[in-house]
Amino acid sequence: MLESFFGIHPTILLELLTIPLFTGVIGYITNWTGILMLFKPIAFHGVRLPGLRALFPFLPKRIQILPLLSYDGRIGWQGIVPSRADKMASIAVDKGLAKLGSVADFYRELEPDKLAEHLTVIADAQIKDIVEEILRREHPQLWYNLPTQVREMVHARVRQQLPDILRELTVELGANIDQLIDVKQMVIRYFQARPHLLNTLFQVLGAKELRFMQNFGFYFGAPMGVVLVALLHLTGLSTLVVLPVGGVIIGWVVNWVGLNMIFAPAYPKWWCPWRQGLLIKRQDEITAGYAELVSSQVITVANIGDELLNGPRSDRTMQMLEDTLRPAADRALGPARSAVKFVLGSREYDSLQSTLTTEAMSIAPIAFADPEFNVRQGKQINDYIAKQMAALSPNDFVDMLRAAIKQDEWLLFLHGGVLGLFAGYAHILIFGTGVATTWL
């Protein structure tokens, strides 16, 4: 019935129906699971393997860093992106943020004058209490003996000096920002602590392309199944060779072609069916998303402030703050400085200066962490990053986005090949090795 109706051998018909279906489905599953492998799970999941913990330190470095193994003796899996958070962040800085500007450029976009004004507002509300608390604690008799008018004069002079002092402070920060912050280490530590944000960076920017890759597996795999049917009949090779080997090749190639369609060519080429890398065609849209994420999550006033005050180079920041604020304490006392120094003595006066400086520095974390100020100044960074990224050449744009995953692409290709191999054998197990000997 089938033979007379379709004009072809039933076995060939079965092959034309099932083999492209298998290769199409396996292409889809390959890319779908490959995308999952990139991002999930965020933390390592696995089972303990006896002896692995003792053996792990002696394994080659390139084996240790595979997301299959954990230093605590477990074998399992962790998403490629979160497992390489430090490496990915390092590449993102080198290929991405470094091309957009130095930390000094970002600091300028935060508008130091606005930062000084904000610090002044915060300090103005607290400085009186700070001065009162210190002098009551350190020199209560002196402070209580001063007439009320003199005390108010001291407070008024401190408030009057604040704007100039804090403006000088922000200028000093800007002049020394490259020595005070290692932006690369800052970004690496930030993403190490929040690997889900690194996932978001790639998933948000490349959402359409990741979805395309997933569907492309079927669109490419199914026609390749027809090619395998043709090879079976034209070459006379056994299904035990054609289907497993063909599955490996299709699984590998489907990922390779899919990724290259996303990123290449950088410039439009007339001979290329898709003309230009799909991601590059959306450079303006991706620019906006990248700028919004970096300005709201990474290069923020709060993060810069935290790095200045608590990062590895915070001792330099504290020294700079002290060097700036110590003379400011003298200026704040004005004409009363000599009299106060005479009454207290040099040692006590120096101690008072140190205490004032330390307490004044406690205002900075409050100012840097202010959410409203972060949102306002984040808009400046957003606009700056968007403007700089718009000026990137297509090659630099691709480098910035692809470099972070390029070194691990082979894992996706290998994954596709392995699944293709299993698919070939699965078809043989279900439908056998028989091949039609005639076409009609």
Q: What is the pLDDT along the chain (440 residues), one digit of tens a residue?
A: 445 445 566 777 777 778 888 888 888 888 888 888 888 888 888 888 888 888 888 888 777 777 778 888 888 888 877 877 777 777 767 766 676 677 777 777 777 777 777 777 776 666 666 666 666 665 666 666 666 666 676 667 666 766 777 777 777 777 777 787 777 777 778 877 888 887 887 777 778 888 888 888 888 888 888 888 888 778 877 888 888 888 899 888 888 888 888 888 888 888 888 888 888 888 888 878 877 877 788 777 788 778 877 778 878 877 777 676 666 666 655 565 665 655 555 665 566 556 666 666 666 677 777 777 777 777 877 887 777 777 778 887 787 777 667 777 787 888 888 888 888 888 888 877 765 554 44
> What's the confidence (pLDDT) of residue 134?
62
For residues 301 and 115, the answer to whether their CB atoms sit within 8 Å is yes
> What's the confidence (pLDDT) of residue 6?
53
> What's the confidence (pLDDT) of residue 439?
46
Q: Is the pTM of this model over 0.85?
A: no
- From 78, 108, 81, select the one nearest 92 (Cα to Cα): 81
> What's the confidence (pLDDT) of residue 320?
75
> What's the confidence (pLDDT) of residue 431?
77
In our burial notation (b when 16+ CB lie closer than 10 A, e otherwise), range 368-385 reads bebeebbeebbebbbebb
For residues 392 and 99, the answer to whether their CB atoms sit within 8 Å is yes
Q: Is the peptide bond before 41 cis (omega within 30 degrees of 0)?
A: yes
For residues 288 and 295, the answer to whether their CB atoms sit within 8 Å is no
> What's the confidence (pLDDT) of residue 254?
85
> What's the confidence (pLDDT) of residue 5?
46
Exposed/middle/buried for residue 33 (C-beta within 10 Å: 0-12, 13-18, 19+): middle
Q: Collapse the DSSP code of 74 into the 3-class scheme (helix H, G, I; strand E, B; otherwise coil) and give the result.
A: strand
CA–CA dist 121, 274 (Å, integer): 56
